[in-house]
Structure 1
Amino acid sequence: MENKKTGTKTSSNEPRYGGEHVFIWGEGYCKRALYADILYVQGSGSYSTFHFTDGTQIIVSYCLAITERSLPESSFVRVHQSFILNWHFIDTLVGNSVKIGSEWFPVGRAYQKRLQGTLHFSEISRKTRKTES
């Protein structure tokens, strides 16, 4: 494809944001998915369902353990035997649950330390300030 203003040729198959993507095989097709577009992956038996920011889903015939190996630890964290989350979208942590948008996800006991090590906690003191009267 040629840019008419600059006269340079570009490929429409180039990734939008560099190499930060994975190819996902759906039913009879292969889709390039940017890591930034994947909210979470849900496992069920020998299948994994990718859930995207635009509301679409792709089901693949791989168990969650295999799917987990294809995703970078810099963006994804396993929080349960059935869920891998893109930690950049986690907005709330309460007890043994985390929230992305309006959905809550359980955090398994075996995954709590990894999740806490992944999330960035501030050093803000919880002490209350004394007010002068």
Structure 2
Amino acid sequence: MNTIDEVVLSREVVTNVCEKGEPELSFNASEVMAKTRQNCVFIKIQDFYRKVMFKDILFLEASGSYCNIYLKDRTRFTVTHSLAETAGYLAEGPFLRVHRSFMVNLDYVDSYIGNLLYIGEHTVPIGRMYRKTILSGLNILGVRDV
């Protein structure tokens, strides 16, 4: 059995292990850390770090050498990294670059009209260079005139 000095287990990891009915809890610390990195990021806020789940991020907006992160609970964090650097910390899954200054979580796109995406009360522009990629990322059912 591996010994671990300090590991924070997510409820999902514990549930999965318990559901298997294994009498011994043996796991690799690096596997637990890799799983944690797949679904969250820690953001520094003054003197502490706050855990932010990827599923809670609506979109990211570049602001010079800073990046604003908008969450579904209407909070906004500003980090001292560029949009490109911040994107490197996110899982590839639902996040898509839609403009040189914006990256969105496709799970929260409510609608799009022309060159704008609507995410809740926010509007996000679609860059010309990104339009084809975005439209292929959305599952669009077209209407055909008969």
Aligned residue identity for 2:118: K
In structure 2, C-alpha distance between the alignment counterparts of 1:115 and 1:29, rounded to whole Å: 35
Task: Quickly say closer, same or farther: Cα 1:106–1:65, change in 2 above 3 A.
Answer: same
* 1:58 maps to which of 77, 86, 93: 77
In structure 1, C-alpha distance between the alignment counterparts of 2:54 and 2:68, rounded to whole Å: 14
**Matched residue, 1:127:** 145
Task: Quickly say closer, same or farther: Cα 1:32–1:16, change in 2 above 3 A.
Answer: farther
In structure 2, C-alpha distance between the alignment counterparts of 1:118 and 1:17, rounded to whole Å: 28
**Matched residue, 2:135:** 116
Deviation at 1:40, TM superposition (A): 0.9
Structure 2 gaps, min length 5: 1-7, 14-35
Aligned residue identity for 1:106: P
TM-score w.r.t. the length of structure 1 is 0.77
In structure 1, C-alpha distance between the alignment counterparts of 2:94 and 2:121, rounded to whole Å: 20
Kindly indicate which of the two structures has a greater share of residues assigned to helix: 2
SS of structure 1 residue aligned to 2:131: helix
Matched, 1:80 2:99: yes
Aligned Cα RMSD in Å? 1.8
Percent identity over paired residues: 33
Task: Quickly say closer, same or farther: Cα 1:31–1:68, change in 2 above 3 A.
Answer: same
Aligned residue identity for 2:144: R
Task: Quickly say closer, same or farther: Cα 1:87–1:17, change in 2 above 3 A.
Answer: farther
Task: Quickly say closer, same or farther: Cα 1:49–1:98, change in 2 above 3 A.
Answer: same
Count of residue pairs brought into register by the alignment: 115
Runs of 4+ that moved beyond 3 A = 13-19
Matched, 1:98 2:120: no
